[in-house]
Amino acid sequence: MQAKSGTAMMLNSYGKRFWDLPVAVPVLSLLLSFLVVAVMAVIFGVSPGTLLGALFEGALKGRFAMASTVKETIPLALASLAVYLPYRAGFFNIGGQGQLQVGAISAMVVVLNVSGPPLMVVTLAVLAAMMAGLLAVVVPLLLKIKRGASEVTTTIMMNFACIQLVNALITGAMKDASAFFGTTLPAPEQYRLPEFTLGVTVHIGIFIALLLVAGTYWLTSRTTFGVRLKAVGSKPSVAEASGIAVKKMIALAVLGGAACAGLAGGIQALGVVYRVAEGWSKGWGFTGIPIAFLAGKNSLAIIPIAFMFAILETGARYMQFMTGVPAALIFVFQGLPVLVFVSLNAWRSSKPNKIER
């Protein structure tokens, strides 16, 4: 592939510089997507500037807005790790949303039923969340490794099964009897994630997220484990032949990723919403997918991209309130860049073939 894009470079020496930069395709995708959103804003009778202004104002202006945007970044970053890490090993984990949901409910089970020193209970709850996320991927993982069944199917199925299970629990066994809708009891105050103020007030989940993203970067690009993982992801048969325990590597990456998704749910439950109720969750698990793909080869890019997506999520309501443009427009902003991104990438890598023919 490298050699082929070399051909393309020679044919167009002007375009080579920008085209070859790793940021070229992401930047182009974002610009093109912005253009589409701008056109949609104009159709709605709002100037694109006003629209973006409202979006950013809603997400970043004032301590409260800024804090919610930073807090929103955390589950997004963790959920995208849940896609990123398994994908390195060639496993497409679409089950992030389900893993996140069972993670959240498991953390709630712990804080509502265990009492003891807060540090112990919270740690236990966070571990339970990771464990639940991990368990939610075990069936797809086994089916992939033992039966060769596509994880795309099975993780999607697990998503919906997990979501329905959580719905069943919060409207049934774990329901707060005094509420009119399905919800758990609130987490006791001493068992919520501690907060701190550094300009804005956020909970300590931010450190966990930053640490895990940095750890993933280190693991994938600075260790032999990372090199092996890449080998497994790109050519499993070659990896197997060179003595790498392929199945074990896949299992480690997938379980680690799913634990991150479970963690995202647990952190969100104990750090932000404090109770798991009907419709409590945005689609963080799904949004993690485009974030992971936009980040591409460099997992550190997850943080800024997750922050950008968080701006969209928190600014959307204010944007709708100020301009009347429906908040759902942000889904265009979240889906379209990746659609353009994969298309441009595919087009770029297939172009030399077309020239040769």
Q: Which is nearer to another protein, 146 or 198 (CB)?
A: 146
- Give me the least distance between CB of 41 and another protein, in Å please: 10
Q: Which of 8, 127, 139, 185 is the binder for another protein (CB under 8 A)?
A: 139
**Residue 151 CA from chain centroid, whole number:** 18
Residue 147 as a binder of another protein (CB under 8 A): the answer is yes
From 5-13, 260-268, 297-305, 323-331, give the range in contact with another protein by CB under 8 A. Answer: 323-331
Q: What is the largest CA-CA distance in the chain?
A: 71
Q: Which is nearer to another protein, 126 or 314 (CB)?
A: 314
Q: Which of 167, 240, 244, 273 is the binder for another protein (CB under 8 A)?
A: 167
H-assigned helices in 172-300: 205-222, 224-234, 236-241, 246-268, 284-295
Distance from C-alpha of 171 to C-alpha of 191, rounded to nearest angstrom: 23
Q: Residue 80 to residues 86, 185, 216: CA-CA distances in angstroms?
A: 10, 29, 11
Q: Which is nearer to another protein, 45 or 199 (CB)?
A: 45
- Give me the least distance between CB of 325 and another protein, in Å please: 8
DSSP 273: I
The 3-state DSSP class for residue 104 equals: helix
From 71-79, 195-203, 258-266, 284-292, give the range in contact with another protein by CB under 8 A. Answer: 284-292
Distance from C-alpha of 48 to C-alpha of 50, rounded to nearest angstrom: 5
- Give me the least distance between CB of 134 and another protein, in Å please: 17
Question: Which residues does 317 contact at the CB level (< 8 Å), separation at least 6?
Answer: 58, 327
From 5-13, 148-156, 202-210, 224-232, give the range in contact with another protein by CB under 8 A. Answer: 148-156
Distance from C-alpha of 278 to C-alpha of 289, rounded to nearest angstrom: 23
Backbone region of residue 168 per phi and psi (left: phi > 0; alpha: psi in -120 to 50; beta: other values): alpha
From 185-193, 233-241, 296-304, 340-348, give the range in contact with another protein by CB under 8 A. Answer: 340-348
Residues that bind another protein (CB under 8 A): 40, 43-44, 92, 94, 139, 143, 147-150, 152-154, 156-161, 164-165, 167-168, 171-172, 286-287, 289-290, 293, 325-326, 328-336, 338-339, 342-343, 345-347, 350, 353
